[in-house]
Each structure stands twice: as C-alpha cells, then as structure tokens.
Amino acid sequence: MMLQNLGTQWARLVAHALKAAGVEHVVASPGARSAPVLCALLESEAIPVEMIVDERSASIFALGRARATGRPQAVLRTSGSAGGHDLPASMEAKQAGLPLVVITSDRPYELTETAAPQTTHQNDLFLSQAGPTLELGPPDAHPTALRALVR
C-alpha cells in the first residue's frame, strides 16, 4: 500500500468493519477529522448515512433508530468536545441494552491538551457511563495492524 493512501485505506477498512459488524445506519455530524471515514462510508454506499449537524440531536436520533429497529446504529463525530454530546445517548443505550456505536475522530496524540483548538482528550470519554471503548490509534500500514483494525 502506498503511504499517501494509508489514511484513505484505513478509513475504508473502518467502513468495511462497521458493515461487517452489522451496523445498519450511520448518523454523521461532519468535521475535518472524521471526513476520511465519512467519505469512505459515502463512497462504499454499504451503509446509509444521515447528516445531522447538531451532535446531540444526531446521537438521540441514532438512539431512536436503535430502539425502533433493535439493530446497531452508529454516530460519527469529529475531534474536540463533539463526542461529549453523545454521552447522554450512550448512557441511555447502555441502560436499555441498545446497540449504539459512537465513533469519535481525535486529533493526533501530540496535539492533545496543547491549547490548540479541538484537542479534548477523548480516550475513555464514555467508559465510566456508557460501555466498552477502544482506540484504533493512528493509521499503520503493517499487515497485522490492518487485520486488527477490521477485527
């Protein structure tokens, strides 16, 4: 894989993994950091994507879809405080046993908490109230990293 395409390939693998995991619908509040994953989802056309600019409304909408369908729904966020708007819906989903996946796109580690815009620390943002979390880390071209991403 060519290095300049690594971010695009990584985003495509995330989109593929969401579909393979049974995610039925993605509600996106677009931003620069989540754009590669959003573009990969739109390009693949495998999962319908709904755009809702207001993050809290978007996550409540996705929660309602999960409640109505019983199928996994996802919300896609950019960096900074955007993920914080998903906490109420995440808490409700956990308590009700509803399948809601929250994807936040963090800034590079070296920019976290550096007084730069949109650098809120997102690791474990939902852990205490919502459920399990995982961090994908930066794109990595090593074959084991690519297999792990899909898994």
Predicted TM-score (pTM) of the model is 0.85
Distance CA 40, CA 112 (A): 25
Q: What is the pLDDT of residues 25-46, one digit of tens each?
A: 999 998 888 899 999 999 999 9
Q: What is the pLDDT of residues 104-130, one digit of tens each?
A: 887 666 766 676 666 566 666 666 676
Q: What is the pLDDT of residues 42-89, one digit of tens each?
A: 999 999 999 999 999 999 999 999 999 999 999 998 876 778 888 899
DSSP 134: -
Q: For residue 94, how many other CB atoms are within 10 A of its CB?
A: 15
H-helix or E-strand containing 74?
strand 73-76
Q: What is the mean pLDDT of the chain?
A: 85
